[in-house]
Amino acid sequence: LVWDGGGAGADAPAGVASLTFGFACNTGETAEIVCERGALRLATPAHAPTRLTVVDRNGCPFARPGAADGGEREETFEEPLERLPYHSWPLPRPPISYPHGEGMMYEAQHVEDCLAQGLQESPWYPLDETLAVAKVMDECL
Report the pLDDT value the prediction gives residue 114, as an integer from 0 to 100.
Answer: 93
Mean pLDDT of 98-122: 85
Is the pLDDT at 48 greater than 70? The verdict is yes
Is the pLDDT at 8 greater than 60? The verdict is no
Q: What is the C-alpha separation between 17 and 32, in angstroms, rounded?
A: 10
- pTM confidence score: 0.57
Contacts with 120 (C-beta within 8 Å, 6 or more apart), sequence order: 114
Contact present, 3 and 14 (Cβ < 8 Å): yes
Report the pLDDT value the prediction gives residue 123, as an integer from 0 to 100.
Answer: 92
Q: Which helix (H) or strand (E) holds 48?
A: none
Q: What is the C-alpha separation between 47 and 11, in angstroms, rounded?
A: 33
Q: Which is more confidently placed, 70 or 75?
A: 75
Report the pLDDT value the prediction gives residue 7, as an integer from 0 to 100.
Answer: 59
